[in-house]
Structures are given as structure tokens and as C-alpha cells.
Amino acid sequence: MSADHATTDHPVVDAVFETVASTAPEVRESLVGRRSYEEGENPSGEQQLEADIFADQLFEEALLALEGVGSYASEERDDVVEADEQSDEDYHLALDPLDGSSNVKSNNAMGTIVAVFDEPLPAGGDALVAAGYVLYGPLTTMVVACDEQVSEYTVVDGERTVNEDELTLPEEPTVYGFGGRVPEWTDDFAGYVGLVEDELKLRYGGAMIGDVNQVLTYGGVFGYPGLRHRSEGKLRLLFEGIPIAAIVEAAGGRSSDGDGSLLKKTPEALHERTPVFVGNDEFVERLELALE
């Protein structure tokens, strides 16, 4: 391992993120020629691209081969896949292999989200050991949060190099992005958005990782709210909500499902959804007050 790498006190966590970094270029290259939809849907009822399935298979093979990884769950699969050999000390991984994959059609940013738990899945924020994501933007970057420290890396040829080893949210926030169609927003949420619009600038790209990365870079708030006809919202607690909450909270921000930290929640089912809000403390606090 090169001295360029900010590592953690958890060798298996380091191996997981080394492997994610070394797999990322292949995922990126695989997008060429895999922009069409498959016949089936993922367990959340969304259309799967060939690229979703390919990325899922690549990560599953590479990560389950690591010693100390006991199981792999993914947004693209119904059930958890267990490693051939099991131990009580194992870590358990939850991945969204290609977050925001509908952006492949318009060639916009996408990501891979990785959550590392020390309990079998589904597990909650109290069992989370580390979380991270790869952002496939103009550059490939990776952000990892572990032991309350957030590091950002640039990934080139599968190797990661540290850009910033104590990433924190800027104190003067400037951007916001909220998902869901406006007529589907509740009146309380729409009222809150009105306040946010007076202070921040809209930046919404339609891939959570791209949108959250902007909030981490410029400060602000990202959210996908509960909707009038779908109060649980769109995003998945295990694969999206908990890992992103862990990263933003470790960077000095706050997360919420509208009521309290996403890290206090434990999914009852692998593919459970939740409203998700992350960002600078003051904006998430005001959101909770608006939804009270």
C-alpha cells in the first residue's frame, strides 16, 4: 500500500476500499455499450440497465473474495449473498453499484455507494463501521468516512491518491438540490423549500452521489422527501440513506429522515425506503422544524 493512501485502523475496511477503487475503472469503461435497459426490474421496482447488472457482478466477485467479508447485499439483488467461509468477525457490505444509473443515457454523473457493517444485513447505523462512495464525474473520485474522519481520493488506473484527508462541510453553504416532482411535495416541505431558495442556489443532477458531493464541496442541503403518494420517498435506507448520512455527519453536517438522524434507524427489510436529508446543520434543523 503506498504512502499516498490515508488508511483506517481496520485492515478489512482498507481492503474493501482498495478493491472498490481498483474495480471502479472497469465499471466506468463498461458503460460504453451498456446504456440499454434489461427486461427485468430491480427489487425496488426500477428498470435495470445492463450497466447496473455488470457493475453489481464485478463488485460482488471482487469484494466477496476478500478475507473478512462475510456477505454482500446490493440494490440490484433480492437477497444477501454469503461468502463461502463465514466467521463472527466478518464485515457485511451493502452496495448501490451504480447510483443514478439513469444518468448514463444523458452522460451525467453517477456513483457507487459502499457501506461496511459489523453485523449481518439488514443492519442499522449503530452497526456501520465505514461508508464511502465513488463519483464517476469528469474525474473519478472516492470519499471514505471511517472513525469520524472523511477522506477524499482521486482514482486513476485503479489506484487512489489522497486529495484531502479531513474533509469537512464548508461553513457558508451555497447549494441545494431536492428530488421528486413539485406537485408531489407536501405543503410543509414546499414551504421549507421556499425558505431555502431565498438563501441557496439550485444544483440538482438526478444522481444522489453527484448531488451530495456538491453539498460536501460547497455546503448546503440535499434531500429526497416523502411524497404525497409515497410518504417513504424514493431512496433506500440501507444502500443510500445510512451510508450518505454517515459521511455527511462525519464531515460535520447533519442527516435526517425528517424527524431525526438516519443513523438512528435500522431497516426491517433490505430494500426499505426513507425520506433522506443531509447537509449543513442549520438547513437540516430547519427542515425538521418545518416538518414537525
What residues line the site for ligand F6P (CB under 6 A)? 99-100, 102, 179-180, 206-208, 224, 234-235
Q: Which three cell numbers stand for residue 174?
A: 451555497
Annotated binding residue 101? yes
Nearest distance from C-beta of residue 279 to ligand F6P, angstroms: 14
Q: Which three cell numbers stand for residue 286?
A: 430547519
- Looking at beta carbons, which residue is closest to ligand F6P? 208
Q: Which of 208/237 has CB closer to ligand F6P?
A: 208
Q: Which of 70/223 has CB closer to ligand F6P?
A: 223
**CB atoms inside a 10 Å sphere around CB 162:** 15
**CB atoms inside a 10 Å sphere around CB 39:** 6
Q: Which of 234/271 has CB closer to ligand F6P?
A: 234
Nearest distance from C-beta of residue 70 to ligand F6P, angstroms: 26
Phi–psi pair at 211, nearest 5 degrees:
-70, -40
Q: Which of 180/219 has CB closer to ligand F6P?
A: 180
Q: Which three cell numbers stand for residue 204?
A: 440538482
Nearest distance from C-beta of residue 130 to ligand F6P, angstroms: 20
Residue 274: partners with Cβ closer than 8 Å, 6 or more residues away: 232, 233, 235, 236, 237, 241, 257, 262, 265
Annotated binding residue 75? yes
Nearest distance from C-beta of residue 110 to ligand F6P, angstroms: 8
Annotated binding residue 96? yes
Nearest distance from C-beta of residue 289 to ligand F6P, angstroms: 24
Q: Which residues pair with 82 in a beta bridge?
A: 71
Nearest distance from C-beta of residue 209 to ligand F6P, angstroms: 7
Nearest distance from C-beta of residue 8 to ligand F6P, angstroms: 26
Residue 29: partners with Cβ closer than 8 Å, 6 or more residues away: none
Q: Which of 103/280 has CB closer to ligand F6P?
A: 103
Residue 239: partners with Cβ closer than 8 Å, 6 or more residues away: 73, 74, 75, 94, 95, 96, 113, 115, 271
Q: Which three cell numbers stand for residue 41?
A: 426490474
Q: Which of 98/291 has CB closer to ligand F6P?
A: 98
Q: Which of 20/83 has CB closer to ligand F6P?
A: 20
Annotated binding residue 98? yes
Annotated binding residue 99? yes
Q: How far apart are CA 165 and CA 2, in angstroms?
A: 15
Name the amino acid, one letter, at 241.
G
Burial pattern 120-129, b for ≥16 Cβ within 10 A else e, equals: ebbbbbebbb
Name the amino acid, one letter, at 273.
R
What 3-state DSSP class applies to 125? Answer: helix
**Which residue reads 457558508 in cell numbers?**
172
Annotated binding residue 102? yes
Q: How far apart are CA 132 and CA 244, in angstroms?
A: 8
| Binding site listing for substrate | 99-102, 204, 234
Residue ranges of the binding site: 75, 96, 98-102, 204, 234, 240
Residues contributing to the annotated binding site for Mg(2+): 75, 96, 98-99, 240
